[in-house]
Chain A
Amino acid sequence: GAVVSQHPSRVICKSGTSVKIECRSLDFQATTMFWYRQFPKQSLMLMATSNEGSKATYEQGVEKDKFLINHASLTLSTLTVTSAHPEDSSFYICSARLLRGSTRGQYFGPGTRLTVL
């Protein structure tokens, strides 16, 4: 149980284009989904928190107009990197928290490797 999927797993795009990454909770409903980015050999950096049906909350220093987050349902959140540049190349990972239950655990997706040329 508690499976989170991401699509695509890997994307290569040209500078200036926009890329959409999907995050789905497959076997549970998630009140909250989180988006992280991770650079090589570094820890996870939280970018934003999204709750279904409301606006995402972005961490300090994260450009909300560049990283658009939509949480359309209790099982789907999307991250759109707009006008991507090479410095946006990174490993993007989403996580989801269960709707019910006492667990506070976040369950992570497999990640999306974005390479901007």
Chain B
Amino acid sequence: QQQVKQSPQSLIVQKGGISIINCAYENTAFDYFPWYQQFPGKGPALLIAIRPDVSEKKEGRFTISFNKSAKQFSLHIMDSQPGDSATYFCAASGMFSGGSNYKLTFGKGTLLTVNP
């Protein structure tokens, strides 16, 4: 199973609030979990990434929480701002048989709207 399930599909948050997006995976061979931010008409931008040997990683207002036993990881955006309004994708990659290209498997995305 190489699926990554992402929820919610859309999220509305007030300015200053916390945005939380969740992802779950099945394949324990995944060992790299990035989050991407995409604005309309633009390519995705790498926000933050984590490996399964740590449970949390923080970069500025963005935090990834990782639960290896539950095979879940989440993105927390603290003090959400209108400029954070975008689509967020979680992804996962790992070294599978057949090569080391580390293909990314993406979640379906979450449309975040931060109201002023």
Contact = CB atoms under 8 A, between A and B. Distances in A.
Interface of A: 4, 6, 32, 34, 41-44, 46, 49, 51, 57, 91, 93, 95, 97, 103-111, 113
A34 B104 CA distance: 10
A50 B108 CA distance: 24
Given A42-B108, A43-B106, A110-B42, A104 B101 contact: no
B46 interface: yes
Interface of B: 32, 34, 36, 41-46, 49, 89, 93, 99, 101-104, 106-109, 111
A49 B43 contact: no
Given A106-B46, A108-B45, A111-B41, A44 B106 contact: yes
17 contacts: A6-B43, A34-B103, A42-B109, A43-B106, A43-B108, A43-B109, A46-B104, A93-B43, A93-B44, A95-B43, A103-B49, A104-B49, A105-B34, A105-B46, A105-B49, A108-B36, A113-B41
A41 B110 CA distance: 10
Contact of A97 (B41, B102, B108): B102
A8 to B, nearest CB: 14
Contacts of B93: 104
Contacts of B108: 42-43
Contacts of B46: 105-108
Nearest to A9: B41
- Name which of B34, B36, B99, B104 has the most chain A CB atoms within 10 A of its CB: B104
